[in-house]
Amino acid sequence: MNSIRNFLSVYDLTADEIYDILSRAALLKADRTLGSGCLKGKKIGLIFEKSSTRTRVSFEVGVMELGGYPIFMSPRDMQLGRGEPIKDTARVLSRYIDGAIIRTFEQARIEEFAGYFKKPVINGLTDLYHPAQILTDIFTVYEAKSKMRNNTNKAADAIAGDAGDIIKNLKIAYFGDANNMANSWINLQAVMGFELVLAMPDGFKIDDLVAGESQKRGGRFAVSHNKIQAANNADVVTTDVFISMGQNEEQAKIDKLKPFIIDDAVIDNAKDDVIFLHCLPVHRNEEVTEAVFERFSSIVFEEAENRLHVQKAIMEMLF
Ligand code: CP
Ligand code: NVA
């Protein structure tokens, strides 16, 4: 039996496993020393073919806090960057290290790596998905909504028996490009079952495979070209950069997306206790106004911190 678990997309986990990760993340957040022997003696490689601040540092720190040893590898310094095939890189590294976190371009590339590596692999962002981010985002939503509703400040209390009720009854509205964040929200919706609306310009289209897979799994999401309607009654509004890493800086694309900026009108149409999330880095006054971003900045930077706690819980489960 093959017991290797990868986390290449949200679909690699069941809803119950996601709830377990969220609960564990709350405990790990409340006590940073918890789980400190879990990766004792383990060497975890980080291969990043794109830039990163949060993902790289939160995973490196997370591996260290769990007692393991992170090894960051930039393709600039590797033979990978000079054309050594990913399958050969994977077969070599699997003889040295115990797990890997990969940030790369095509989803097929991380899948190929995982196929040859034969030890757990975590997706640290591809063109198609950003699953570690999306689990962090839903953790941040729970935490915030639960704190509001239960009037508590303790993170550990946030992940209680009411987690499923909170999540299933959310309306989440995403604004912007049909990119890896939009796709990850679609995946998460299919597993966890909240209401999801994606507001984007006419002519922008969700990847056929992503939409098809969601449908196959009983997922449901709406695409709207009217940002005020999309925001109506939302519990969470969120966005991402208009131009992702690896994409051309096309002004025409930015111009089309500009009307979907998250501004006061969006926030005013959402619920009174709406929260705003952004995976960062942010382009102020492009996908969100400076005023809205600063108004919700404390939760956005909490979201950034939560990468660490959620990813530690994912690594405990996989590595
Ligand atoms: N949100 C996120 O993944 O940030 P980095 O690109 O800095 O890792
Ligand atoms: N969609 C963005 C996310 C950055 C964290 C990108 O892929 O560049």
pLDDT tens digits, residue range 3-19?
899 999 999 999 999 99
**Average pLDDT of every residue of the chain:** 95
Residue 80: per-residue pLDDT: 96
What does the alpha-carbon distance between residue 239 and residue 49 come to, in Å, rounded to a whole number?
Answer: 23
Answer yes or no: is pLDDT of 1 > 70. no
Measured from the CB, is residue 52 less than 6 Å from ligand 2?
no
Answer yes or no: is pLDDT of 98 > 70. yes
% of the chain residues with pLDDT over 70? 96
Between β-strands 121-123 and 99-103, what pairing exists: parallel, antiparallel or unpaired?
parallel
pLDDT in tens, 140-173: 999 999 888 776 655 544 465 678 889 999 999 9
Confidence of residue 81 (pLDDT cuts 50, 70, 90): very high
% of the chain residues with pLDDT over 90? 92
Residue of the CA atom closest to atom 3 of ligand 2: 244
* Distance from residue 241's CA to the centre of ligand 2 (Å): 7
Residue 158: per-residue pLDDT: 45
pLDDT in tens, 231-286: 999 999 999 999 999 999 899 999 999 999 999 999 999 999 999 999 999 999 99
Ligand 1 probe mutation, 53, 129, 179, 278, most atoms within 8 A of CB: 53
Measured from the CB, is residue 191 less than 6 Å from ligand 1?
no
What does the alpha-carbon distance between residue 255 and residue 155 come to, in Å, rounded to a whole number?
Answer: 40
User: What is the pLDDT averaged over residues 272-301?
Assistant: 98
Dump strand ranges (E) for the chain. 43-48, 69-73, 99-103, 121-123, 171-175, 195-199, 222-224, 236-239, 275-278
Answer yes or no: is pLDDT of 2 > 70. no
Q: At what angle do helices 208-216 and 180-192 cross, to 10 degrees?
A: 10
Answer yes or no: is pLDDT of 175 > 50. yes
What does the alpha-carbon distance between residue 319 and residue 315 come to, in Å, rounded to a whole number?
Answer: 5
Q: List domains and CATH numbers for the chain.
A: 10-129+307-318 (3.40.50.1370), 133-306 (3.40.50.1370)
Check 54, 127, 240, 278 and give the catalytic one: 240
| Residue 279 alpha carbon, nearest atom of ligand 2 | 5
Check 103, 107, 137, 189 and give the catalytic one: 103
Measured from the CB, is residue 53 less than 6 Å from ligand 1?
yes
User: What is the pLDDT averaged over residues 119-145?
Assistant: 97
User: What is the pLDDT averaged over residues 177-182?
Assistant: 98
Task: Look at residues 265, 262, 312 and name the one whose alpha carbon lies nearest to residue 282.
Answer: 262
Residue 165: per-residue pLDDT: 86
Check 130, 137, 189, 235 and give the catalytic one: 130
What does the alpha-carbon distance between residue 79 and residue 217 come to, in Å, rounded to a whole number?
Answer: 40
What does the alpha-carbon distance between residue 267 and residue 232 come to, in Å, rounded to a whole number?
Answer: 9
* Distance from residue 99's CA to the centre of ligand 2 (Å): 23
User: What is the pLDDT averaged over residues 67-80?
Assistant: 96
Integer-rounded Cα radius of gyration of the chain: 19
Residue 12: per-residue pLDDT: 98
Residue 154: per-residue pLDDT: 52
Which ligand has its closest atom nearest to the C-alpha of 124? Answer: 1
Residue 312: per-residue pLDDT: 98
Residue 162: per-residue pLDDT: 76
Task: Classify the C-alpha dihedral 45-52-199-275 as positive or negative.
Answer: positive
* Distance from residue 151's CA to the centre of ligand 1 (Å): 31
Active site residue 103: yes
User: What is the pLDDT averaged over residues 85-108?
Assistant: 98
pTM of the predicted model, to two decimals? 0.96
